[in-house]
Amino acid sequence: MKKSLVSLFLIIIFSLVSIQLLVMPYFESNFRHPTEKWALEFLTSGSTNMLSKELQNLPKQQRKVYLQSVQANFGFELALQKWKKSDFSNEQNQWLERNEIWGEPLDDLAYLSVDDEQLLVIVKPNSVPKYLINEAQRWTMGSFYQLNNKLKQQPEDMWPSIIDSVRSDFKYDVSLQSLDELNYKIEDMASLKKGNIVTISSADSNFIGYPADIAIQRIGSSDKVLILGPFSSELKDKVVYMLTILYLIFGMFLLVPIILWLLPTWRSMLSLNKVALLLGQGKFDARANLVRFSNLNHLSKTFNTMAGKIQRLISSHKHLVNAVSHELRTPIARIEFNIELLRNSTENNYQLGQLDRIESSLNELNSLVTEMLTHARFDREIPELTFEPVELNEWIRQELKPWQETNPILDIILLEGIACHAMIDRFYMSRALSNLIRNAIAYGENQIHVSYNKTSTGWLIQVDDNGSGIPPSSLDYIFEPFYRVDQSRNLQTGGTGLGLAIVQQILDWHGGSASADNSSLGGACFILSWPTKLHNLKSR
């Protein structure tokens, strides 16, 4: 176990180091950096494009002065830079020549060409200025300032057309709306009426960790407001894609090694489970496979050792029972012969009575030996079975007839039902039913009811008596060899402790089972059930 934990710890450490040294640089350059670049270009698009157009209309010597005059109205720093194409890559120069914003998230910079000689530089400060509430106001502050200036210079009926003309400068939506159409919190509405920038969050913005989904500001003292956004719908797709790649990378480089480490253990568990099921079915030669690199090989070895001991113990038990049973045949026969000799050589009534009692006990012993040999033979090998269709009503009636004739004082009754055709091996199923009838005669009072039925999956035969019944604690053990409920069920009542075990063996061959319960007659109820599908069973 310690070695397993150490190996798992080393795998995790190796995976984390590999992710940090090999994977993360690739992820940063191919996924995170492009996503942050796009987000920087997306958020600065409107104000930067409008500002670049304004600078193009100014003489070059006035541009810096203009930027300084409007700087306070922007949430980021503004600067001009000479455009030296040697300072940029071919891709960057082509991008800038198309008048598109180029973002550099590592340096928190964005560039946009003003003309062939100058670039507008947007620098994101490290902290949000005190006069701003959050990041969303940083990116929208300049856009609101420029849009307000454009709108205030024109009549209100011209505002929709002005907004339409500047929409192409923004990568997010820009719209006009009346104050009366808004339905926000009281404090947000009050702040809007004062001319402040109000930011509204949504589930999407909360998901990606952005402080707002839309930003709103009133246009001067009018009843109109400018609405920028939503931002989150665009940002969310990019963030979700980036996070998906990140989780896949962690899954591939962290979970896959752990899964590979667990795979041999999982195979060992499957093998152990399979062998445990086989042992439960009585196949004691089954063994668990030793899987290379498995952490459960020690358990498999222990399990195999245990299975081997169980197999040897059961085999020894079977051989012992078989040997003892066979060896008892000879002394039993000798005793029977000597009893006959003594009976023929004496006329003493007392001696003759003792000989009768000895012979009775010898018959019980002989019956026990016979049952032991039968059980040992059945347990050792499955006989070839001949399955044939029988009509249960007629077959059971024939089986009960000898018992009814030899026990006229008992009510041995067949509860007849509808015609029911079943597949059985006549010889062995007759043996099973006879054992149940014998058991009912021995432990019942004077009533034995036999019934049958067709179920959804097969057939069943039920034998009820009106004896003392079976305690609930014994119901699960009654079919085990030599199991006795109490002292009342012993050889004196004719039982050997093997009759019900033989019944269970016969039903196993039929693919079914034998069970016991308490009867409505007040005694025991034994049920034989077996399925209709017998094609997998051994047959002649």
> pLDDT (tens digit, 9 = 90+) per residue, 266-307?
888 888 889 888 887 777 788 888 888 787 888 888 888 888
- Token pair, residue 358, equals 């000895």
User: Which residue is listed with tokens 């019956």?
Assistant: 367
Which residue in 210, 211, 143 sits closest to 171, CA to CA?
143
Residues 6+ apart with CB under 8 A from 67: 55, 78, 79, 80
At residue 526, what is the residue type? F
Provide mean pLDDT across the span 216-224.
92
Distance in angstroms (rounded) separating the CA atoms of residues 223 and 177: 9
End-to-end CA distance of the chain: 52
Which has the higher per-residue pLDDT, 1 or 494? 1
Query: CA quadruple 431, 433, 438, 442: dihedral positive or negative?
Result: positive
Phi-psi region of 348 (alpha: psi -120 to 50; beta: other; left: phi over 0): beta
Average per-residue pLDDT in the chain?
83
For residue 178, list its beta bridge partners: 224
Query: What backbone phi and psi angles, to 5 degrees, belong to 497?
Result: 80, 5
Looking at residue 363, what is its pLDDT? 76
Helix (H, G, I), strand (E, B) or coil at 41: helix
Distance in angstroms (rounded) separating the CA atoms of residues 395 and 401: 10
Let me know: does 375 contact 502? Beta carbons within 8 Å.
yes
Quick one: pLDDT band at residue 23, thresholds 50, 70, 90? confident
Given CATH 3.40.630.10, say whether it is the number of domain 383-531: no
Looking at residue 470, what is its pLDDT? 86
Distance in angstroms (rounded) separating the CA atoms of residues 417 and 237: 71
Which residue in 180, 187, 156, 143 sits closest to 46, CA to CA?
143
Distance in angstroms (rounded) separating the CA atoms of residues 88 and 473: 89
Looking at residue 129, what is its pLDDT? 60
Edge-to-edge strands, sheet with 118-123 = 77-82, 118-123, 109-113, 102-104
Residues 6+ apart with CB under 8 A from 147: 50, 163, 166, 174, 226
Looking at residue 145, what is its pLDDT? 93
Domain limits of the chain?
131-230, 297-379, 383-531
Let me know: does 457 contact 506? Beta carbons within 8 Å.
no
Looking at residue 215, what is its pLDDT? 93
What 8-state DSSP symbol labels residue 223? S
Looking at residue 384, what is its pLDDT? 78
Looking at residue 450, what is its pLDDT? 93
Residues 6+ apart with CB under 8 A from 162: 150, 151, 154
Strands 447-454 and 411-415: parallel
Residue 353 vs residues 147, 332, 339, 357, 367: alpha-carbon distances, Å: 128, 19, 12, 6, 21
For 366, the enclosing helix (H) or strand (E) is helix 349-380
Distance in angstroms (rounded) separating the CA atoms of residues 142 and 52: 13
Query: CA quadruple 537, 372, 327, 362: dihedral positive or negative?
Result: negative
Percent of the chain with pLDDT over 70: 88
Query: What backbone phi and psi angles, to 5 degrees, belong to 396?
Result: -65, -35
- Is the pLDDT assigned to residue 499 strictly greater than 90? no
The CATH architecture assigned to 297-379 reads: Orthogonal Bundle (1.10)
- Is the pLDDT assigned to residue 16 strictly greater than 80? no
Query: CA quadruple 175, 180, 186, 190: dihedral positive or negative?
Result: positive
Looking at residue 254, what is its pLDDT? 78
Helix (H, G, I), strand (E, B) or coil at 137: helix
For 124, other C-beta atoms within 10 Å of its C-beta total: 19
Q: What angle do CA 324, 330, 333 make, to 5 degrees?
A: 130
| Low-confidence winner among 102-111, 246-255, 492-501 (lowest mean pLDDT) | 492-501
- Is the pLDDT assigned to residue 491 strictly greater than 50? no
Looking at residue 103, what is its pLDDT? 92
Quick one: pLDDT band at residue 539, thresholds 50, 70, 90? very low
- Is the pLDDT assigned to residue 494 strictly greater than 90? no
Looking at residue 508, what is its pLDDT? 87
What 8-state DSSP symbol labels residue 536? T
| Low-confidence winner among 117-131, 186-200, 407-421 (lowest mean pLDDT) | 117-131
Is the pTM here over 0.95, yes or no? Answer: no
**pLDDT tens digit sequence for 99-143:** 999 999 888 899 999 998 999 998 887 666 656 667 888 889 999
Which has the higher per-residue pLDDT, 534 or 275? 275
Query: What backbone phi and psi angles, to 5 degrees, belong to 478?
Result: -65, -25
Residue 124 vs residues 41, 44, 176, 223, 230: alpha-carbon distances, Å: 12, 10, 28, 33, 21
Looking at residue 373, what is its pLDDT? 66
Q: Where are the beta strands (DSSP E) in 95-190?
A: 102-104, 109-113, 118-123, 174-178
For 95, other C-beta atoms within 10 Å of its C-beta total: 19
Residue 68 vs residues 63, 78, 119, 149, 318: alpha-carbon distances, Å: 9, 8, 16, 17, 104
For residue 425, list its beta bridge partners: 387
**pLDDT tens digit sequence for 361-404:** 777 777 667 766 666 666 656 677 888 999 999 999 999 999 99
Quick one: pLDDT band at residue 66, thresholds 50, 70, 90? very high
174-184: burial string, b at 16+ Cβ within 10 Å, e else: bebeeeeeeee
